Each structure stands twice: as structure tokens, then as C-alpha cells.
A and B are shown apart, each in its own frame.
Chain A
């Protein structure tokens, strides 16, 4: 079975600064997907960024980038130039190939401070 661990329940960052959220996972699969989802207060979860395990290049989406270390089973999210709108719960998630269910971590609550 797959597990996802987020060791930082809460974090805060000053506006315009950079913050890194940590995620580790455990799986015996060789090919899979990893995701970061964002859930703003009282809003639905939205996909922030996705990484395919077979790709060595780290995914980037504008101010969001990941550091994917397959051997270490680590998948951290870096948010650059943090904005107030980045305040949210961030979930790391794992998915086996074939559109199987997502396996989530417990989440990290990020607060961006003006």
C-alpha cells in the first residue's frame, strides 16, 4: 500500500518570500504520479502541479516548482514570490498509473503574511 507523509502541519511565510513544503511517500511502484493540491479556505481543492515519476525533470508551473527525488521518495513544493492568495491547505498526493484513487497526506496549512 502507498503512504504519503507531510511532516509540517503548519507553515507561514512573508509575502514575496519563498517557502518549501515537504512531502515523502512510500511505494513499491516504479511508475506513478505525484501531485500538490491547494485548498483555499472554504473552497474546493485544485490541482497545483503534477509530476510523472518517469520524468527526471522537475515540474514547474509559474511560481510553483517541485523537487522530485525518486530514490529518496521525496516530493517537495517550492512557492516563489509568495502571495496572499497562496494562503491555503496544501495536500501532497500519490496516484498509481491508470487513474486509480488518490492517496493523500495530512496536509500543510500555509499562511502568507503581509
Chain B
């Protein structure tokens, strides 16, 4: 059964460094998401991406964050200059359809644990 995959499973970085988290969505899916979960807190939406552009973003997704689909398979989240408070589990998800297209289940990856020191 197709799955969303994410690499790396764990990333440790120094404060101020750039990190890129990678996701491979399910191959025929068109709509992509990033969520994060700070330890002990709720899973929070960051951004959604459809038709090669950001569809929606939360207030968390500031100028330090960017997303890209550099090729036909990868979907990346870049944090330009990491802060201690960026330490969290980051989840990628994908769904078959986009907004206004009826219900489409979001399939989640296993997450990348980001630790900022």
C-alpha cells in the first residue's frame, strides 16, 4: 500500500542553521500539507500546497519557513534560521484532491523529529 515517507527521521541542528525536511507524498496525490507537534502540545497546521503554490498557511508559517516541490516526487519544508522553539515533530501529509473537491483523506508520514540546540 502506498505510503507517505519522510526523511530524515531525526534531525539535530544548531540554532540559526538552515534545515530542510523532506517528504515524498503518495504518487498520484495533488495536495500536500505540513503539520508540526511541539512535545506535549497539539498537532498544528503549518501550510498546504496545491498546484505548485501555497494554498493556505497558518500564523506559525512566517518568513522563516518555505515549501517547495522541487521535482515530481519530493515536497520539502525549509526553515531558514532555526530557533529553539522550532524543536518539534514535523508531519507531512498528502491527499488525492484539493479544496472544494469533496472529502479526501489526508495520509500522514511518520514524521521528522527536529531538535534545535
Interface residues of chain A, those whose CB is within 8 Å of chain B, are 4, 33, 37, 42-47, 50, 52, 91, 98-107
B103 A99 Cβ-Cβ under 8 A: yes
Report the Cα distance A46→B100, complex, angstroms.
23
Question: Chain A's nearest CB lies how many Å from the CB of B29?
Answer: 12
Chain A's closest residue to B58 (CB) is A101
Known A33-B103, A46-B108; judge A101-B31 contact (CB<8 A): no
Interface residues of chain B, those whose CB is within 8 Å of chain A, are 3-4, 31, 33, 35, 40-45, 48, 56, 58, 91, 95, 97-111
Main secondary structure of the interface of A (DSSP, over half): loop
A42 B56 Cβ-Cβ under 8 A: no
Report the Cα distance A106→B100, complex, angstroms.
27
B3 A44 Cβ-Cβ under 8 A: yes
Residues on the A chain within 8 Å of B4, using CB:
44
B105 A104 Cβ-Cβ under 8 A: no
Residues on the B chain within 8 Å of A45, using CB:
91, 108
Report the Cα distance A35→B99, complex, angstroms.
18
Question: Chain A's nearest CB lies how many Å from the CB of B91?
Answer: 7
Residues on the B chain within 8 Å of A105, using CB:
42
Report the Cα distance A22→B48, complex, angstroms.
28
Report the Cα distance A47→B110, complex, angstroms.
13
A100 B105 Cβ-Cβ under 8 A: no
Report the Cα distance A54→B35, complex, angstroms.
27
A106 B42 Cβ-Cβ under 8 A: yes
Contact sample, A vs B, 9 pairs, CB 8 Å cutoff: A44-B4, A44-B111, A50-B103, A52-B103, A91-B43, A99-B101, A101-B45, A102-B43, A104-B42
7 pairs of A and B residues whose beta carbons are closest in the complex: A101-B45, A104-B43, A45-B108, A44-B110, A44-B108, A98-B99, A106-B42
Residues on the A chain within 8 Å of B48, using CB:
101
